[in-house]
């Protein structure tokens, strides 16, 4: 089929995720037909570096012989059979492997099929854990503002984003939100958009404590009157700045827990990096601090490592940076090397044991999906993890991430770049109309999307989160390709800086949802 025919059929039949379809229909989409290593190819044979790692999930690149072989070998046995009432060979072997590589203390694997189902499972397990222990009142959650946990109702509730989720608010359950320790400190009206790998919304000024509850108007989008309860003493260095942010953020969480811990089931975090919020990196010690607060106030800790898991931050799991074991660990994306939709929620023995008992006691976890523990996906995951271990990929990411940081350094001099955040192979580059004042671009101009569109001519595919450009490539991406991505960005961002004045800034980004569908 020709590219034009494929594009026409796409426009006629496909409803794309997180996409303003009116814009999409007026455009000619790139149609990907194949991939090789870190490259994807379109229907006209053009080659692009997969700079988003196919939505942050690709580990070893595309068409990896070891994974392809494992899937084919599994296909010769069976593609899928159910885990409801039956066990399956690949899901058994994978569960054993996952428990071996996961933070110590996690003991059981509950399979599902996407990041959102992994978190949804965690939220349900947390609530039922307390119910089974005779605490039916513990049904609420504590979460971090701007967190993203997927698009199911639970995921939306705990990771609630007002601009996306307004229509669904009546469906959502009760969550208390604490502000995150974004860096640098908030500027009125400035800042980054947020969206799950592409949709974009207005700036989200930081509050160090915001407790929003069901059906109350979220405080997001409104600069806090007092951004920090712990003003930073003048002249303190970067280290103490991080310490200050940590203290401030943990204090905000603790305030919520002091008031609500009796009715809170769990606190949910994205350890180290809040991905969809714009690659916001938590201060060192954050995950450990939250673990301690969860223990102190007797609530569970859910670590959503859907984005950070499987080496992306330079450790197998981001929790390892703080030597933390959560009560529930959510994984997806890179689990199968980015090949197939398998996700999982790992639980400690303590959690699991609370679900044991006679059937009539009602402790069973009544949750499952048709493709839970899919055999092809589990075979791919086993092969991917083996390959990660054989190639010492996680250590390589940690090493090459430092080289990537060096490549990115010159971008900081550009007048349209206000901040670059990085943890491993997760990078967020904030674009602003004026760096001195961090005045944002008018969201209607969709500058982030425009830059991603422009870098395509250099053979690079990227996707923005509002006016934050994200680099999140396959974990096997080597320094020369990392350099290519950054070089393409440098050309286009320098051009953007030179166009200053053409792209007006605005005082407030407001609450506008705009398309980031590139």
> Which residues would be at the binding site for ligand PMP (CB under 6 A)?
114-116, 119, 148-150, 196-197, 270, 275-276, 304, 306-307, 332
By beta-carbon proximity to ligand PMP, the closer residue of 149 and 176 is 149
> What is the spatial distance between Cα 96 and Cα 90, in angstroms, rounded to a whole number?
10
**To the nearest whole angstrom, how small is the minimum distance from the Cβ of residue 385 to ligand PMP?**
18
b/e 421-435 (16+ beta carbons within 10 angstroms → b):
bbbbbbbbbbbbbeb
Q: Residue 8: which residues within 8 A CB-CB, separation 6 or more?
A: none
Alpha carbon of residue 470 to chain centroid: 11
Give the dihedral sign, CA 301/306/312/315.
positive
Least CB distance from residue 135 to ligand PMP, whole Å? 26
**CB-based contacts of 358: which residues, under 8 Å, 6+ apart?**
none
Taking each helix axis as running N to C, give the angle between helix 286-296 and helix 238-260, from 0 to 180 degrees, rounded to the nearest 10.
20
Q: How many CA atoms lie within 13 A of 321 on its CB side?
A: 27
Query: Who's near 424: CB < 8 A, 6+ residues apart?
Result: 311, 312, 313, 314, 315, 397, 398, 401
Q: Closest approach of Cβ 342 to ligand PMP, in Å?
A: 10
Return the bridge partners of 470, or none.
Answer: 428, 463
Closer residue to ligand PMP (CB): 176 or 312:
312
Rounded to 5 degrees, φ, ψ at 254 are -65, -40
- Name the residue nearer to ligand PMP (CB basis): 30 or 276: 276
Between 120 and 254, whose beta carbon lies closer to ligand PMP? 120
3-state secondary structure of 345: strand
Minimum distance from CB of 302 to ligand PMP (Å)? 11
Q: Which of 288, 281, 284, 341 has the alpha carbon at shortest distance from 312?
A: 281
> How far is 336 from 114, CA to CA, in rounded Å?
11
Q: Which is nearer to ligand PMP, 18 or 365 (CB)?
A: 18
In the complex, minimum distance from the CB of residue 304 to ligand PMP, in angstroms, rounded to a whole number:
5
Shortest Cβ 372–ligand PMP spacing (Å): 15
CB nearer ligand PMP, residue 275 or residue 443: 275
Cβ at position 437, least distance to ligand PMP in Å: 31
Q: Which is nearer to ligand PMP, 17 or 410 (CB)?
A: 17
Distance in angstroms (rounded) separating the CA atoms of residues 233 and 239: 13
Q: How far is the CB of 428 from ligand PMP (least distance, A)?
A: 13
Closer to ligand PMP by CB, 114 or 211: give it.
114
């Amino acid at each position: 089929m020709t590219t034009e025919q494929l594009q026409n059929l796409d426009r006629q039949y496909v409803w794309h995720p997180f996409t303003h379809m009116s814009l999409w229909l007026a455009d000619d989409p790139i149609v990907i037909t194949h991939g090789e290593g870190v490259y994807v190819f379109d229907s006209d044979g053009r080659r692009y570096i997969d700079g988003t790692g196919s939505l942050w999930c690709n580990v070893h690149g595309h068409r990896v012989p070891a994974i392809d072989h494992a899937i084919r070998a599994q296909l010769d046995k069976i593609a899928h059979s159910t885990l409801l009432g039956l066990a399956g060979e690949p899901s058994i072997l994978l569960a054993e492997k996952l428990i071996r590589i996961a933070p110590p203390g996690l003991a059981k694997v509950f399979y599902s099929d996407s990041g959102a189902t992994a978190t949804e499972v965690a939220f349900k397990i947390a609530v039922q854990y307390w119910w089974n222990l005779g605490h039916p009142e513990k049904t609420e959650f504590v979460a971090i503002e701007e967190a993203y946990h997927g698009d199911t109702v639970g995921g939306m509730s705990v990771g609630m984003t007002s601009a996306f989720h307004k229509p669904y608010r009546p469906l959502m359950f009760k969550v208390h939100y604490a502000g995150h320790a974004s860096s640098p400190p908030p500027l009125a009206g400035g800042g980054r958009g947020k969206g799950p790998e592409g949709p974009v919304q207005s700036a989200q000024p930081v509050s160090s404590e915001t407790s929003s509850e069901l059906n109350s108007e979220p405080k997001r989008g409104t600069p806090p009157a007092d951004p920090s309860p712990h003003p930073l003493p003048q002249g303190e260095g970067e280290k103490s700045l991080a310490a200050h942010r940590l203290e401030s953020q943990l204090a905000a969480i603790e305030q919520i827990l002091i008031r609500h811990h009796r009715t809170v089931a769990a606190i949910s975090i994205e350890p180290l990096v809040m991905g969809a919020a714009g690659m916001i990196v938590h201060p060192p010690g954050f995950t450990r601090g939250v673990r301690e607060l969860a223990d102190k106030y007797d609530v569970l800790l859910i670590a959503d490592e859907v984005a950070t898991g499987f080496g992306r931050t330079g450790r197998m799991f981001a929790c390892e940076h703080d030597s933390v074991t959560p009560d529930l660990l959510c994984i997806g994306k890179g689990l199968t090397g980015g090949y197939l939709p398998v996700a999982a929620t790992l639980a400690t023995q303590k959690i699991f044991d609370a679900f044991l008992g006679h059937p009539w006691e009602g402790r069973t976890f009544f949750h499952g999906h048709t493709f839970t523990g899919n055999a092809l996906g589990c075979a791919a995951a086993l092969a991917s993890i083996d390959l990660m271990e054989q190639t010492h990929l996680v250590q390589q990411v940690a090493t090459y991430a430092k080289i990537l940081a060096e490549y990115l350094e010159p971008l900081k001099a550009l007048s349209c770049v206000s901040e670059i955040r990085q943890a491993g192979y997760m990078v967020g580059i904030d674009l602003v109309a004026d760096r001195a004042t961090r005045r944002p671009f008018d969201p209607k101009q969709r500058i982030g999307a425009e830059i991603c569109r422009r870098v395509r001519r250099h053979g690079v595919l990227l996707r923005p989160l509002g006016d934050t450009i994200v680099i999140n490539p396959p974990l096997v991406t080597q320094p020369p390709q990392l350099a290519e991505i950054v070089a393409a960005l440098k050309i286009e961002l320098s051009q953007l800086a030179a166009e200053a004045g053409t792209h007006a800034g605005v005082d407030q980004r407001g609450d506008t949802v705009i398309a980031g569908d590139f």
